[in-house]
Structure 1
Amino acid sequence: MKALAPHEADPNWFLLAKLLFGIALVIGAPFLVKPTISKYNEARQSANWPQTEAEITQSEVKTGQNRAKPAWTPVVSYRYSVDGKPYTSSKIAFRSFETPIPSHAEEVVEKYPVGSKHPVFYSPEDHSKAVLEKGTNWLVILALFFPLLFLAWGGYITYDNFIFLRARLSQPKKKKKKKRAQTSTTSSPNSALKRRRRRIRKNQDGG
């Protein structure tokens, strides 16, 4: 957040770049509303999805990075069948299980070991959509506020950098003092020498 705030040492082009980034957040925020609400509705509807049995085919913890910090994600894949047709999925629930604490990811993997069988809930409209843990959770509900958060954050960045940049550009530019050519000092020895030569010539001509 501090990196996106205007600073006195920032050049104008960098302030403009941060201003444009803020504008992009403001413009992009409304586009997050539809997928966020859609995901919430699907999670809520999954509470009434039909159930079948699934077999876990993969269960492991993968290590990655999130904002240059280590992160651990449980990866669980399973297979199931509906009306005799086989399906596969790797969706545990309607939320992300990525965590900066490895033990939390390991707990999920231990809950779903390879070869174990668990209830799975699938969409009656699209049988390929399934989850091991149905319903909403606090993370899904919290995601509903993400578009509003992006809008507020982008608006703050845009306003802050715009006011700072406008104030800087409105300041009167300092006029550079032109260096006066010191012709008198540079030419005075030559002119004195010429006058002296003219006097000598006059004396010689007069003599």
Structure 2
Amino acid sequence: MPDLPWYVYAMLLAPLALVLFAAAYKTLQVRAAREWPQTPGKVVISDSEVREIRVLDDSREDNYRLEQRNFANIVYQYAVAGKQLRNNRVSIGEDRGNFEVAETIAKYPVGTAVTVFYNPLHPNEAVLERDLPKGLWGCLGIGTAVVLAIVFGGVFGLNRLTGFVSTRLVNPKFSPMVVVFGAFGLVIALFALAMRRQSQLAKHWPVVPGTIKMSDVQQYRNAPTQNGVRGEVMYQRQASFAYSYNNVAYTCIEGSLATGANSTSGWLMRKFTTAYQDGAGVNVYVNPANPSEATLNPRGGVILIWILGLLALAFWGLAWFVATRG
């Protein structure tokens, strides 16, 4: 095994540890909810709604950004000790939005009789489903094994690859640099191919009419530097639009790759990104597998894909130059 500092492995495995911790914590909540009493209830509202949630983003000064997502709004009414209560939490699991919105609405139409499980200490806390998805821990176990194999196999493989390359260079001391440049180029190329694949699929998504709700250049500040210097002010084009798919209403922030770009120049964002008139009618390309995902321009990321491809070639060129010229 490569002799790397312990904190390198800690950083590589930290995301996996967070996922496992969250799953364990949620399992404890499920076990507690199994002891909750139940009472009959009735669905009184069943539709979709947009909620603004915080998303962790350590690249920003506030360490988060606000993001609009679609949720199934299932409001049910029930009674505890003669007091009428309402709640809209369906599952004990976390709902981060943009997932199975239409399916949940179809499962709980208005007027449906439901069984409500409520917290006897705080009757306002209630759910309709108190079980985690079946096979969750099995999937997590398989996922953990795959991640561990990728992390340790990748580190070990890069170490062996560096040793292999060093025997074929005029100056073996440059072998780590050659491997790193080549690996960066490979990762960027794979990312560009994935984006191209997504763009190709989006061209064939169903098209529905939509309406622009907001189109503007947003600004935010980058996170401070390691020296404590305040981050730069950044600008990003955003366009949100409303549409309906299979009789369910959705709202989406422009999903094309072009609008995800940001810059320190507000002028560049306004000059070279697509602006839409508020209230204007547009054609919306909707992902039928997850209608919360949509875009106004499936070809919007072509330029970025080309840039990534050229960047991958540049890294491979550097690897070749270092390998042949030292």
TM-score by length of 2: 0.36
2:216 to 60, 64, 70: 60
Cα pair 1:50 1:122 within 8 Å, conserved: yes
2:233 matches 1:77 = no
More strand by share: 2
One-letter identity of the residue aligned with 1:41:
R
**Residue 148 of structure 1: aligned partner:** 313
One-letter identity of the residue aligned with 2:237:
P
CA distance in 1, matches of 2:297, 2:307: 18
Give, in angstroms, the shift of residue 40 of structure 1: 0.7
Give, in angstroms, the shift of residue 36 of structure 1: 1.4
- Which consecutive residues of structure 2, in runs of 5 or more, have no partner in the other structure? 1-173, 223-230
**Residue 156 of structure 2: aligned partner:** none
**Residue 124 of structure 1: aligned partner:** 288
Give, in angstroms, the shift of residue 139 of structure 1: 3.1
Give, in angstroms, the shift of residue 132 of structure 1: 1.0
Cα pair 2:215 2:275 within 8 Å, conserved: no
Cα pair 1:29 1:150 within 8 Å, conserved: yes
Give, in angstroms, the shift of residue 83 of structure 1: 0.4
**Residue 42 of structure 1: aligned partner:** 198
2:200 matches 1:24 = no
Give, in angstroms, the shift of residue 110 of structure 1: 8.1
Q: Residues 99-178 of structure 1 correspond to what in structure 2 (within 5 A)?
A: 99=263, 101-106=265-270, 111-135=275-299, 137-154=302-319, 156=321, 163=326
CA distance in 1, matches of 2:175, 2:220: 31
One-letter identity of the residue aligned with 1:103:
W
Closer, same or farther: CA 64–141 of 1 in aligned 2, 3 Å: same
CA distance in 2, matches of 1:50, 1:141: 26
Closer, same or farther: CA 77–159 of 1 in aligned 2, 3 Å: farther
Give, in angstroms, the shift of residue 114 of structure 1: 3.5
Closer, same or farther: CA 110–150 of 1 in aligned 2, 3 Å: closer
- Which consecutive residues of structure 1, in runs of 5 or more, have no partner in the other structure? 1-17, 164-207
CA distance in 2, matches of 1:87, 1:69: 33
Percent identity, aligned pairs only, is: 15
How many residue pairs were aligned? 144
Give the RMSD, CA atoms, in angstroms: 3.7
Deviations 1:10-39 (A, max 9, x none): xxxxxxxx9856643322332333331121
One-letter identity of the residue aligned with 1:83:
N
Give, in angstroms, the shift of residue 99 of structure 1: 4.3
Larger radius of gyration, structure 1 or 2? 1
SS at 1:124 equivalent: coil
One-letter identity of the residue aligned with 2:279:
G
SS at 1:115 equivalent: coil
- The structure showing larger relative contact order (alpha-carbon pairs under 8 Å, at least 6 residues apart) is 1
Give, in angstroms, the shift of residue 69 of structure 1: 6.9
Give, in angstroms, the shift of residue 148 of structure 1: 2.5
CA distance in 1, matches of 2:177, 2:218: 32
Deviations 1:29-59 (A, max 9, x none): 3233333112112213323322112233333
Closer, same or farther: CA 27–138 of 1 in aligned 2, 3 Å: closer
